Amino acid sequence: MRILAIESSCDETAAAVVENGRAVLSNVIASQVEEHKLYGGVVPEIASRRHAEAISGVVQKALDDAGTTLDGIDAVAVTYAPGLIGALLVGVNYAKSLAYAKGLPLIPVHHLRGHIAANYLSHPELEPPFLCLVVSGGHTHLVRVNDYTDFTVLGRTRDDAAGEALDKAARAMGLPYPGGLHLDRLAQTGDNAAFRFPVPRVDGAPLDFSFSGLKTNVINQLHNAVQKGETLKKEDLGASFLAAVVKNLCDHTKQAALECGCKTIVLAGGVSANSVLRSEMQRLCDKQRWRLFLPDLPLCGDNAAMIGAQAYYEYNAGKRADLSLNAFATMPIEA
């Protein structure tokens, strides 16, 4: 079964053709990052307009790269939640039009389910159940993936997402957008023990996360240094902050895995590209004799191939949308 998938939840206009949930026939991404960089973050109004301009060309290229036309497609899938509402609506309406024009089934896909499914593309042998740490710009979830379309959230962030905290701290340090990526590079030359950070705890919910305190701590250290006229080594501050965030992510993942008896750990979302997170999680899993699956780097960030992968399993589970399909800025992954 060949699915044409569309993703436009944030600042990448993406389309892909995926066969039977596992084989990527094409994967096209038009990034708007250079434009949003001017403003230090994603400007929703600009994102929607760029999606509207790019989507036809991106979809056509995905079909061309896959060596097919719409006549060779069996279903259309689209990210319908969560994300920037104006951005999502562009993809949703485009997908609806294509499905209607060609009489094809329309499959709505949850963006975070898509991030998890990126791992099915990178690892043909991976099957649920497993424990997944989803770390993106907008979400931080510890999820037990019971089956392809059955999820239990074990922990979530109470404030900033991990990526959001990295982006905001990086911005305060004068790094360009997307901050997480630039912080990863900067931290490689820093001393990760140079600065100390408190360990965040959420009372009564040990698997939940809280990153806003760590982020504010970085910003305060920067301000204090400026006020005292001191120069602060940003490589060291960045490396120490990143180490604190990663330690927290790894500690919670370990606790969740022990509690649910999961011996297969999976990472997903834009922050899963982080070099420190990847190596520390590998260290943890080696020590515990757990298997770790990491998405290939090009599949960590937003793309449509992951949406096409998840769509196959949603379709098999009977999920369909009609032409009244709407987009939603928020939606639980279990819904």
Q: Which of residues 22-61 bind Zn ion (CB under 5 A)?
A: none
Report the b/e string of 205-239 with b at 16+ CB within 10 A: eebbbbbbebbebbeebbeeeeeeeeebebbbbbb
Whole-angstrom distance, CA of residue 95 vs CA of residue 86? 15
- Asked whether 299 and 7 are in contact (CB, 8 A), the reply is no
Q: Which of residues 193-232 bind ligand KG4 (CB under 6 A)?
A: none
Per CB under 6 A, the segment of 173-181, 190-198, 204-212, 280-288 that binds ligand KG4 is 173-181
Q: For ligand KG4, what does the binding mask look like between residues 243 and 282, x meaning CB under 6 A? A: --------------------------xxx-xx--------
Q: Give the sign of the dihedral formed by CA 252, CA 256, CA 262, CA 268.
A: negative
Please identify, using beta-carbon distances, which residue of 135 and 187 lies nearer to Zn ion: 135
Report the b/e string of 104-114 with b at 16+ CB within 10 A: bbbbbbbbbbb
Please select the residue that binds ligand KG4; options are 21, 91, 108, 179, rule is CB under 6 A.
179
Regarding 190 and contact with ligand KG4 (CB under 6 A), the answer is no
Calculate the alpha carbon distances from 175 to 31, 88, 166, 243 in Å: 19, 28, 11, 18
Whole-angstrom distance, CA of residue 18 vs CA of residue 66? 9
- Nearest approach, Cβ of residue 201 and Zn ion (Å): 27
Please select the residue that binds Zn ion; options are 302, 309, 313, 314, rule is CB under 5 A.
302
For tokens 């690892």, the residue is 123
Beta bridge mates, 228: none
From ligand KG4, Zn ion, none, interface partner of 180 (C-beta below 5 to 8 A by class): ligand KG4
From ligand KG4, Zn ion, none, interface partner of 190 (C-beta below 5 to 8 A by class): none
- Nearest approach, Cβ of residue 159 and ligand KG4 (Å): 15
Per CB under 6 A, the segment of 92-100, 125-133, 151-159, 180-188 that binds ligand KG4 is 180-188
Regarding 167 and contact with ligand KG4 (CB under 6 A), the answer is yes
> Residue 232 region, left (φ>0) first, then alpha (ψ -120 to 50), else beta?
beta
What is the contact surface with ligand KG4 in residues (CB under 6 A)?
10, 115, 136-138, 163, 166-167, 178-181, 184, 269-271, 273-274, 301-302
